[in-house]
Amino acid sequence: MQKQWWKESVVYQIYPRSFMDSNGDGIGDLQGIISKLDYLKTLGVDVIWLCPVYKSPNDDNGYDISDYQDIMDEFGTLDDWQMLLDGLHDRGMKLIMDLVVNHSSDEHAWFIESRKSKDNPYRDYYIWRQGKEGKEPNNWGSFFGGSTWELDEQTGEYYLHLFSRKQPDLNWENPKVRQEVYDMMTWWLEKGIDGFRMDVINLVSKVQELADAEGDGDGYHFGGKYFVNGPRIHEYLQEMNRNVLSKYDVMTVGECIDVTPEEAERFVGEDRGELNMVFHFELMGVDSGPGGKWDVTPWKLTDFKKIMTKWQTALNGKGWNSLYLNNHDQPRMLSRFGNDTTYHKESGKMLATLLHTLQGTPYIYQGEEIGMTNVQFSSIDQYKDIEILNMYKEYKDAGHDEQAIMKSIYAKGRDNGRTPMQWSAGPKAGFTTGTPWISVNPNYTRINAEQSMADPDSIFHYYKRLIQLRKQHDVIVYGDYILLGEEDEQVYAYLRSLKNDRLLVVLNFFEAPAEFTLPPDISYADPKLLISNYDVEADSDIRHLELRPYEARVYKFQG
Ligand code: NOJ
């Protein structure tokens, strides 16, 4: 496997709206991020992934872009952005930008033109179809509820939007669209950025017939078969790589809905000339029942391990994994997979240990490093996310119980990850001097960066140590992965191995004490404890470990 800087890096994801507000308007901004660069440097991360900061009417918090080459007014200006890039580079950190090109905003100049007339030169920049018997062209359901089609009165045709009606899908079949995208990417790369995170990139190629999705009744159904990993996806990505990416030393990570490891290999295989990594969603479905995301179901550690192991082994030596346990679209990992009350610190560190000791590049989501948790707002009016608000209305209209709906939102809603970064115990958690665009999680008085930085035993300092360890031990980055104790419902243990170096990672995922026994066929010499979230006696015998609640241990030895 080839050595690469992006394999050895740790990425930190910033959701700018909620990171730091510099001007008191309640909305995070670029100058706010600039004021926290030393914080990021102290943490030790190498790369910042900036969620969209482009001009946008904010129907989906910046994932609806009206100008790809300018900055959203609330966030600042291109000069501020340049200052951010310089500030990162001066500190030896890199910057990757979010590339959102499955769709634009309906307020983008291309779409404003496109909808004007059927013969407008921009008509084919988007996907327009005639209705069928007075209804939408097909029965596809949008990711945010309702149909994927919107009738435009002006020309009497429908346009496709897999997300909100303010996010029309771009027509990648049109070579002019692809060229516009490549030119825009080049423009940013020439400014000196270090790569892209590509939003829902495996949806850009659609089967042109746009046939009905399978499903009962008159409702809307998931049409993934016609647009997930569509027929021309690899052709497009190879073209993008040839025309743009291959000319720069940059990293890429593509968000890919519904991919298996086998499919992922086609995106990230080292001989494919496409992407470096994908974000897959398999683990994010571990607690979903047959009803999908909002059908919250208890998860099992054996399922969790099976998914992780499948990806670790499938890509080993062929491609590269991205490692994440939460982001701006997911609940907080500590509330979902850990214990955000009694064992807040222990479980936050245990999950961090997993994230940083698997093969792949770890992605930390802002606030994770101080143990931020889910939030439970009492009223739906406090929620801002279009997905939550649409789902609430749809479920209410369908007669679902209010309490049950709120329970699902508490567990899975995207706003869990979007409450303001908790910087201090001061007013508004130190995020803003004004009124935050979304309420602060009330637990900021206990959980905040100031407190976490001051406490040498905090989750923050543990992250720092994990990040440093990856830089000191190649086995953590490049080692092969072998799962131990596949059937164990409480302990997640694995070996990593690179030449003679071995790493043993043992994680108690629950509150009850647990035991771990090393399989007898594993030989070891000179074990050294690299990190643990508890005090551990120096001479403990790694053949048999007694684990406390959420205990994590990482040993290095020679095999
Ligand atoms: C995935 C992004 O992460 C999410 O926040 C957004 O709503 C959709 N793509 C649509 O762009």
Do 118 and 139 belong to one domain? yes
Long-range contacts of range 218-225, CB-CB < 8 Å, 24 or more positions apart? 218/139, 219/139, 219/141, 220/139, 220/140, 220/141, 220/142, 220/146, 220/147, 220/148, 221/139, 221/140, 221/141, 222/140, 222/141, 223/138, 223/139, 223/140, 223/141, 223/148, 224/257, 224/258
Query: How far away, in angstroms, is 221 Cα from ligand 1 center?
Result: 19
Token pair recorded at residue 311: 């990806």
* Cβ contact 199:328 at 8 Å: no
Return d(Cα 190, Cα 184) in angstroms, integer. Answer: 10
Q: Is 199 a catalytic residue?
A: yes
Rounded CA-CA distance 174/158 in Å is 18
Residue ending a domain, choose from 93, 127, 160:
160
Domain count, the chain: 3
Would residue 6 count as lying in a domain? no
Here the CATH number for the domain that contains residue 27 is: 3.20.20.80
Ligand 1, atom 10: nearest CA belongs to which residue? 63
Which numbered atom of ligand 1 lies nearest the CA of 100? 11
Residue 166 domain-assigned (yes or no) = no
Closest atom of ligand 1 to CA, residue 163:
10
The residue out of 414, 438, 463 marking a domain boundary is 463
> Do 363 and 418 fall within a single domain?
yes
Look at the alpha carbons of 316, 516, 499, 538 in this order and tell me if their dihedral is positive or negative: positive
Structure tokens at 501: 């170096």
Range of the domain at 494: 479-558
User: Would residue 520 count as lying in a domain?
Assistant: yes
CATH at residue 146:
3.90.400.10
Do 144 and 86 share a domain, yes or no? no
If we measure between CA atoms, which residue out of 430, 422, 420, 457 comes closest to residue 344? Answer: 457
d(CA 102, CA 426): 40
CATH number at residue 551: 2.60.40.1180
pLDDT of residue 457: 98
User: Are 147 and 280 in a shared domain?
Assistant: no
Q: Write phi, then psi, for 404 (nearest 5 degrees).
A: -65, -40
| Ligand 1 atom at minimum distance from 387 CA | 7
Atom 6 of ligand 1, residue of closest alpha carbon: 63
Strands 277-279 and 251-255: parallel
Ligand 1: which of 329, 384, 412 to mutate, judged by most atoms within 8 Å of the beta carbon? 329
Q: Separation of 489 CA from ligand 1 center, angstroms?
A: 33
Q: Which uninterrupted H or E stretch holds 294?
A: strand 292-296
pTM (2 decimals)?
0.98
Task: Using the atom order of ligand 1, give the atom closest to the CA of residue 102.
Answer: 11
Largest distance between two CA atoms of the chain: 78
Q: Which atom of ligand 1 is nearest to the CA of 63?
A: 11
| Per-residue model confidence as pLDDT tens digits over 17-65 | 999 999 999 999 999 999 999 999 999 999 999 999 999 999 999 999 9
Verify that 183 and 155 share a domain, yes or no: no
Residue 470 in domain: no
Considering the domain architecture, whether residues 66 and 150 belong to the same structural domain is answered as no
399 and 484 in a single domain? The answer is no
CA 427 – ligand 1 centroid, Å: 30
Examine the fold and report which residue of 463, 490, 515 is the final residue of a domain before the chain moves on. 463
Expressed in angstroms and rounded, the spacing between residue 333 Cα and the centre of ligand 1 is 19
pLDDT given at position 261:
97
Residue 464 structure tokens: 């720092």
Output the ligand 1 site: residues, CB below 6 A: 60, 63, 100, 163, 199-200, 255, 328-329
Specify whether 282 is located in the same domain as 328.
Answer: yes
pLDDT of residue 1: 75
CA distances, 53 to each of 24, 30, 455 (Å): 18, 9, 33
Residue 114 domain flag: yes
- 58 C-alpha to center of ligand 1: Å? 12
Check whether residue 420 and residue 525 sit in a common domain: no
Task: Kindly give the distance from the C-alpha atom of residue 272 to the centroid of ligand 1, in angstroms, as a whole number.
Answer: 26
Pocket test residue of 53, 54, 63 for ligand 1, highest count of atoms within 8 A of CB: 63
If we measure between CA atoms, which residue out of 20, 46, 43, 42 comes closest to residue 31? 20
Statement to judge: residues 369 and 485 lie in one domain: no
pLDDT given at position 525: 87
Q: 490 and 369 in one domain?
A: no
Active-site residue, from 98, 150, 199, 329: 199
pLDDT at 499: 96
- Domain assignment of residue 279, yes or no: yes
Identify whether 3 is part of a domain: no
- The Cα 211–Cα 132 span in angstroms is 12
Q: What is the pLDDT of residue 28?
A: 98
**How many whole angstroms separate alpha carbon 497 and alpha carbon 481?**
7
- Together in a domain, 228 and 147: no
8 is catalytic: no
Annotated active-site residue in 64, 74, 255, 346: 255
CA 374 to mean position of chain CA atoms: 16
pLDDT per position in the chain (559 positions), as tens?
799 999 999 999 999 999 999 999 999 999 999 999 999 999 999 999 999 999 999 999 999 999 999 999 999 999 999 999 999 999 999 999 999 999 999 999 999 999 999 999 999 999 999 999 999 999 999 999 999 999 999 999 999 999 999 999 999 999 999 999 999 999 999 999 999 999 999 999 999 999 999 998 889 999 999 999 999 999 999 999 999 999 999 999 999 999 999 999 999 999 999 999 999 999 999 999 999 999 999 999 999 999 999 999 999 999 999 999 999 999 999 999 999 999 999 999 999 999 999 999 999 999 999 999 999 999 999 999 999 999 999 999 999 999 999 999 999 999 999 999 999 999 999 999 999 999 999 999 999 999 999 999 999 999 999 999 999 999 999 999 999 999 999 999 999 999 999 999 999 999 999 999 999 999 888 899 999 999 998 777 899 999 999 999 999 999 8
State both tokens at 365.
Answer: 């989501």
Domain assignment present for 5: no
